[in-house]
Amino acid sequence: MNEAASSTATWPHELFDRLRAAGVSHVSYVPDAGHSTLIRLSLDAPDITTTMLTTEEEGVAVATGAWLGGMRSVILMQSSGVGNCINMLSLPVQSRTPLLMIVTMRGEWAEFNPWQVPMGQATEASLTAIGVHVVRASTGDEVVAAVEQGATMAFEADQQVAVLIGQQLLGEKTW
């Protein structure tokens, strides 16, 4: 699927509905084409608070603060941003604060940018090593199901969960 087709896919809309059904009322994000539909839906929803981040590790602190303030939050980022978060992830892991991250993968299928490959290869292992539960999804239906179960694990069982969305679903990136 190419980027144009991905932007019109229905799964991001279903995913957004599932996040709302799970009580998510805050979305932090670093701008990303793979998350563009979800970001736009969040920005347009009057009952969703959004925070555009300058770097991904800020999202971990913001999500922790949102939880302490009574809000359920999700962080949207690319796999390259996971490397920025590793040290900060000790906060929710050690404090058992619920955390839900949706990560669009880079450095995989048809990647043109060599700078994306190392972190793309290390994302899952890095998250697992720090204590985050990782679920991979390769189709729209898998993404929706993974985020729905991830929200349950995070918000009902005080777990830290990352759903990794395979690059092939998002489409080949070009300049």
Residue 17 placed within a domain: yes
pLDDT at res. 53: 98
Residue 20 placed within a domain: yes
Give me the helices (H) in 9-166, please: 11-21, 36-44, 56-68, 79-85, 90-95, 117-130, 140-157
How big is the chain, counted in residues? 175
What's the CATH code of the domain at 94?
Answer: 3.40.50.970
pLDDT at res. 85: 95
Residue 72 placed within a domain: yes
Residue written as tokens 């959004």? 50
| pTM for the predicted model, two decimal places | 0.92
| For residue 78, pLDDT beyond 70 | yes
Residue 8 placed within a domain: yes
Residue 54 amino acid letter: T
- 89-140 pLDDT tens trace: 999 999 999 999 999 998 788 878 888 888 999 999 999 999 999 999 999 9
| For residue 52, pLDDT beyond 80 | yes
Domain residue limits at 32: 3-170
Residue 117 placed within a domain: yes
pLDDT at res. 108: 86
Residue 25 placed within a domain: yes
Residue 175 placed within a domain: no
CA dihedral (83, 88, 93, 98) positive or negative:
negative
Which residues neighbour 17 within 8 Å (Cβ) at sequence distance 6 or greater?
none
Residue 4 — very low, low, confident or very high, per pLDDT cuts 50/70/90?
very low
- Number of folded domains that form the chain: 1
Residue 128 placed within a domain: yes
